[in-house]
C-alpha cells in the first residue's frame, strides 16, 4: 500500500463488466477497494477480441479513437507462486473508502493519517487487511494490541457518477467546524438500523446518529458534491447534483453501461468474412507482401483464427476489392440487432462459420399458425463491451441526453480501447408469423392492455422526471418478452443449465423495412456451462412443442393470483401487468430489460383477462 503492488483478492473477468468494473467498489472480506481506470491497466496483458460490428457501435458512442476491444487481464494458471511476476497479473485497485473504523475501540479515521496499517498476506490475498496499531479499547484501559479495522460503511454519491468519502467531521459538527478531534463510531441499540448508529467527536462531545444522513433531512445535513472520481484521481468542477449517502455494497453505487452483439457472418465467402472481422489489421496494407507478413503474425498470435488457411494473394484480392469500393471495410449499421435478424431469418442460414453454426427445423406441432420457423443455434458467440457507468440511477433508454444520468468515463482521456468479454454458447431462435402477430395486435382487448402498459410507462417515467413519450417498446415487445421469460424458466428446469446462464434477445422492431417478431434464448456462460448441448436439443419440434405447452399452462395460474392477475400498471406506475417473481420474472442477468414490460395475459387467459391471449385455444 506504499506504492508497491499487493494482491488483495480475485474476481472473475466477466464480473469486471457486470459488477466490478472501473469506478466500482469491490467489497472484499476484510477491506474495500475501488477498481481504477483502464488507463492504469496493463494493456499488453489484455487480449484483443475481434468483433467488427460491436467495435463500430462502440466507436459511435465513445469516438473514433477506440482501437480495440480487449479482455481484462487474468492469470493463466490456477496455481501461482505468490512471489512470482504472474502473481501480480490483474486489475489495479486502491483502498476506498479511505476512512476506516477500528472494530475494538470504534476509532474512525482516514487511512492517510497513519493510524492504520496494512497487513499483507501473500499466500492468502483475500486475508489482506488493515489493523489499528496498539489499540487500547474504547476506554483506553486495555493492553495495547493490534485490532482489525474495517471500511466505513457510508459514502457519498451523486447522479453525475461521482463517489466520495462520507464527510464525517462536517456531519457530526453540523457543518464546517474548526474542531479536529478524534471521531468514534458506535452502536446504541440491539439492531443495526441507522437510528442506532452514532458518530461522536472525542474533543467537543458532538454526536449524531446516521439517520440524519438519509432522506430529505440528509439533503440539509450533507455538503454539496465535490465531483470526485476515485478511480481516476480526479475532481470535476462545478457539479450541481445533490450528493446523497449510500451504503458500501449498495447496488445503486455502480450501474454498467454495456453494448453486446452476437458474432454473425457478414459475408457468404469465408475469406471475405475473415478480412472484414479483422479489417483493422489490413486497412493500412498496400501490397501482397505486407499481407503475407500480417498473416504470419496473426498465425503466431492467434488473433484472427482461420486466416492462415488462405493464401496471401487471395487475402490481398479481398483487401484490394474492399479499398476500391467492392466491399465495406467498416461496419456502419447503428442497429446491432438488425443484421442479426437478417442472418437469423435468412432462408439459407450459415452452417459452417466458426462462431455461428445453425440448423433450421420445423415449427412444433400445434403451433404452426403462430410460429413461422425455428432455428437451432448449435454454436454462437456473444461479445459484451463496457462503455461507462452511472451511479444512483440506472441508465434509462431515452433520446434526450439531458434525461439520462451522466455517463461516467472509464479513464481520464478518451479511451483507446474498452474492456470486453466473449462467451460461447448455444441457443434457440423462434420467428413468429407476422400476419398472426398483426392480427393479434388489432384485437380491441389487446389495445386495452397496451393502453394500460403505456399508462404505467408514462407514470414511471414522470416519477423520474424523464420524457414520458419515449422509451416504450410496444405491445409486441411485451408479448415476446413475456414468452421469452416463460421459456427461460421452463428450459432451466429441463436442460440442467443454471437459470442465470440463460439469456434472451428480443427482436420486435416495427420501424424498419421489415417488421421483426422473434426471440433468441441462448446460454452465455464464461465457462463450459454454455456449451454442453443440452439447450439446443430442446429446440427439436417434439421437445419445443412440449415445453411451450408446459410454459403456457404454468402461466395460466400464478401462486400469487388473484393479486398478480389483477395488477394494473397505471395504479402504481409500474412497468409490468400480470407478472411477478412467482410466475414470470427471471434473473436480471438473463433479462435484457430488467424484468420490465411483462404481462402473461398477452399470452394466455388469466383470471382477470381472458381474450387478449396470443396463444388462444382457437
- Mean pLDDT computed over 358-375: 92
Q: Is the omega angle on the peptide bond into residue 562 within 30 degrees of 0, that is, cis?
A: yes
Tens-digit pLDDT profile for residues 105-139: 889 999 888 889 888 888 888 888 899 988 888 77
- Euclidean distance between CA atoms 199 and 210, whole angstroms: 8
Task: Indicate the pLDDT class of residue 2, thresholds 50, 70 and 90.
Answer: very low
Whole-number pLDDT of residue 88: 75
Sorted by where each begins, the domain ranges of the chain are 15-255
Task: Indicate the pLDDT class of residue 268, thresholds 50, 70 and 90.
Answer: low
Return the percentage of the chain with pLDDT > 90, whole number.
38
Alpha carbon separation from 561 to 120, 288, 404, 556 (Å, rounded): 55, 69, 36, 10
Whole-number pLDDT of residue 533: 55
Query: Is the confidence at residue 532, as pLDDT, over 60?
Result: no
Query: Is the confidence at residue 246, as pLDDT, over 50?
Result: yes
Cell of 274: 475473415
In SS3 terms, 61-77 reads as HHCCCCCEEECCCCCCC
- Helices of type H across 418-499: 434-441, 444-463, 475-495
Residues 163, 230: contact at Cβ < 8 Å?
yes
Task: Indicate the pLDDT class of residue 402, thresholds 50, 70 and 90.
Answer: low
Alpha carbon separation from 348 to 229, 342, 360, 426, 538 (Å, rounded): 51, 11, 9, 19, 22
Tens-digit pLDDT profile for residues 168-227: 999 998 888 888 888 998 888 767 778 888 899 988 888 888 889 998 888 888 988 999
Cα three-residue angle 85-89-90, rounded to 5 degrees: 160
Query: Is the confidence at residue 400, as pLDDT, over 80?
Result: no
Whole-number pLDDT of residue 331: 36
In the DSSP assignment, the letter for residue 178 is: S
Whole-number pLDDT of residue 112: 87
Amino acid at each position: 500500500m506504499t506504492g508497491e503492488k499487493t494482491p488483495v483478492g480475485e474476481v472473475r473477468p466477466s464480473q469486471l463488466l457486470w459488477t466490478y468494473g472501473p469506478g466500482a467498489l469491490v467489497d472484499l472480506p476484510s477491506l474495500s477497494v475501488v477498481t481504477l481506470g483502464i488507463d492504469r491497466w496493463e494493456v499488453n496483458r489484455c487480449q484483443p477480441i475481434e468483433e467488427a460490428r460491436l467495435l463500430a457501435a462502440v466507436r459511435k458512442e465513445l469516438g473514433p479513437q477506440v482501437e480495440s476491444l480487449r479482455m481484462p487481464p487474468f492469470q493463466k494458471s490456477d496455481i501461482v507462486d505468490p512471489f512470482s511476476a504472474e502473481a501480480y497479473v490483474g486489475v489495479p485497485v486502491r483502498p476506498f473508502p479511505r476512512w476506516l473504523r477500528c472494530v475494538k475501540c470504534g476509532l474512525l479515521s482516514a487511512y492517510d493519517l497513519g493510524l492504520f496499517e496494512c497487513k499483507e498476506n501473500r499466500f492468502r490475498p483475500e486475508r489482506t487487511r488493515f489493523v489499528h496499531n496498539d489499540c487500547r479499547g474504547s476506554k483506553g484501559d486495555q493492553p495495547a494490541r493490534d485490532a482489525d479495522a474495517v471500511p466505513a460503511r457510508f459514502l457519498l454519491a451523486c447522479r453525475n457518477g461521482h463517489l466520495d468519502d462520507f464527510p464525517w467531521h462536517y456531519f457530526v459538527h453540523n457543518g464546517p467546524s474548526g474542531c479536529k478531534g478524534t471521531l468514534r463510531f458506535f452502536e446504541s441499540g440491539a439492531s443495526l438500523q441507522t437510528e442506532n448508529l452514532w458518530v461522536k467527536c472525542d474533543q467537543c462531545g458532538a454526536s449524531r446518529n446516521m439517520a440524519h444522513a438519509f432522506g430529505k433531512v440528509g439533503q440539509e445535513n450533507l455538503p454539496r458534491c465535490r465531483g470526485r472520481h476515485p478511480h481516476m484521481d480526479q475532481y470535476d468542477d462545478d457539479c450541481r447534483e445533490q450528493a446523497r449517502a449510500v451504503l458500501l455494497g449498495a447496488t445503486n453505487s455502480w450501474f454498467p453501461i454495456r453494448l453486446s452483439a452476437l458474432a454473425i457472418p457478414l459475408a457468404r465467402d469465408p475469406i471475405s468474412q475473415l478480412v472484414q472481422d479483422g479489417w483493422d489489421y489490413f486497412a493500412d496494407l498496400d501490397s501482397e507482401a505486407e499481407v503475407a507478413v500480417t498473416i504470419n503474425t496473426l498465425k503466431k498470435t492467434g488473433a484472427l483464427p482461420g486466416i492462415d488457411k488462405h493464401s496471401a494473394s487471395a487475402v490481398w484480392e479481398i483487401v484490394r476489392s474492399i479499398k476500391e469500393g467492392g466491399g465495406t471495410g467498416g461496419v456502419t449499421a447503428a442497429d446491432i440487432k438488425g443484421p442479426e435478424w437478417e442472418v437469423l431469418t435468412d432462408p439459407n442460414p450459415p452452417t459452417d462459420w466458426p462462431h455461428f453454426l445453425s440448423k433450421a427445423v420445423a415449427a412444433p406441432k400445434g403451433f404452426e399458425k403462430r410460429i413461422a420457423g425455428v432455428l437451432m443455434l448449435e454454436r454462437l458467440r456473444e461479445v459484451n463491451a463496457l462503455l461507462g457507468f452511472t451511479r444512483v440511477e440506472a441508465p434509462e433508454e431515452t433520446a434526450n441526453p439531458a434525461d439520462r444520468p451522466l455517463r461516467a468515463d472509464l479513464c481520464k482521456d478518451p479511451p483507446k480501447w474498452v474492456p470486453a468479454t466473449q462467451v460461447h454458447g448455444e441457443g434457440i431462435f423462434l420467428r413468429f408469423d407476422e400476419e398472426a402477430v398483426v392480427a393479434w395486435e388489432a384485437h380491441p382487448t389487446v389495445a386495452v392492455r397496451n393502453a394500460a402498459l403505456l399508462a404505467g410507462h408514462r407514470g414511471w417515467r414522470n416519477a423520474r422526471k424523464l420524457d414520458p413519450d419515449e422509451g416504450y417498446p410496444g405491445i409486441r415487445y411485451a408479448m415476446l418478452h413475456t414468452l421469452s421469460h416463460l421459456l427461460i424458466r421452463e428450459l432451466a428446469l429441463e436442460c440442467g443449465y443454471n437459470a442465470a446462464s440463460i439469456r434472451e434477445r428480443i427482436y420486435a422492431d416495427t420501424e424498419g423495412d421489415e417488421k421483426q417478431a422473434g426471440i433468441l434464448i441462448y446460454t452465455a456462460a464464461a465457462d463450459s456451462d454454455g456449451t454442453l448441448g443440452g439447450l439446443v436439443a430442446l429446440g427439436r419440434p417434439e421437445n419445443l412443442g412440449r415445453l411451450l405447452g408446459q410454459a403456457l399452462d404454468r402461466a395460466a395460474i400464478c401462486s400469487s393470483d388473484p393479486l398478480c392477475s389483477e395488477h394494473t400498471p397505471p395504479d402504481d406506475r409500474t412497468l409490468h401487468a400480470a407478472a411477478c417473481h412467482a410466475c414470470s420474472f427471471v434473473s436480471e442477468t438473463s433479462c435484457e430489460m430488467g424484468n420490465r414490460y411483462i404481462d402473461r395475459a398477452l399470452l394466455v387467459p388469466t383470471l382477470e383477462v381472458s381474450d387478449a391471449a396470443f396463444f388462444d385455444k382457437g
